[in-house]
A and B are shown apart, each in its own frame.
Chain A
Amino acid sequence: QSVLTQPPSVSGAPGQRVTISCTGGSSNIGAGHDVQWYQQLPGTAPKLIIYGNTNRPSGVPDRFTGSKSGTSASLAVTGLEAEDEADYYCQSYDNSLSGGDVVFGGGTKLTVL
């Protein structure tokens, strides 16, 4: 059972907009900890696409947008492209364990129809 909750799957047609939610609690996202998002293609290492809730590393298209409010965060992907089909994970930190432990969502499979 993951500390952060994500929907198992989302889908959208090319060109459409989809959002992936990440719900936490008062000891992690709600405590003010930053949220990161990773994209993982089959057989490859996770790739950072959003850090510090809203920041994109260089090279990540601006079609990917992160937001955070209260105990939740979201990743929006606009102008869906076939290459966006992948697994997406949210990640934050939690106060309730040994102090600043890394916590993940269970992952969301994005399918481009």
Chain B
Amino acid sequence: EVQLVESGGGLVKPGGSLTLSCAGSGFTFSNAWMSWVRQGPGKGLEYIGQSKTKAGGGTTDTAAPVKGRFIISREDSQSTLYLQMNSLKTEDTAVYYCTTILYDSPSGSYRPYWGQGALVTVSS
């Protein structure tokens, strides 16, 4: 069974830093493109960035609202994805989800999987 488990959420002051982890299991982590998505209170879903596999170039990308402040990395040997968040702002308050897409043989399509989310609150 595919599982993604986020950890590391909590309360942080504006300007502070926090690192989220996402532990994957039930699939070959090193072969999986991994992404972070967030949802602010009362808001929609927002893409944060992604980490490509080594075979896919091994690059990471972040979306404009967090570029230069958030860093995505992965440790394939630990099957873990990270989101390092720096210079946090109150508007970064959100539930952060770790996601991946895996090939689903029966349908011939790629199927997304999500973690349960980690709440990050940025407040003084």
- Spell out A's residues near B (CB within 8 Å): 2, 34, 36, 38, 45-46, 48, 51-53, 55, 57, 89, 91, 97-98, 100-107
Chain A binder among B20-28, B73-81, B82-90, B106-114: B106-114
Give the docked Cα–Cα distance between A40 and B61 (Å). 27
Query: What 1/0 flags go to B22-45 for Cβ under 8 Å of A?
Result: 000000000001010100000011
Tally the A-B contacts, defined by beta carbons under 8 Å: 66
- Which B residues lie at the A interface, using CB under 8 A? 33, 35, 37, 44-47, 50, 59, 61, 63, 95, 97, 99, 104, 107-117
Partner of B107, one of A52, A91, A101: A52
- Could you list 4 further interchain pairs (A-B, Cβ under 8 angstroms) beyond the known A45-B114, A53-B109, A102-B99? A38-B45, A51-B110, A103-B47, A104-B47
- Contacting residues, chain B, for A34 (C-beta < 8 A): 109-110
Contact of A48 with B112 at beta-carbon distance under 8 Å, contacts A55-B107, A102-B37, A107-B44 already known: yes
B64 to chain A, nearest CB (A): 9
A52 touching B116 in the complex, CB below 8 Å, given contacts A98-B61, A102-B35, A106-B44: no
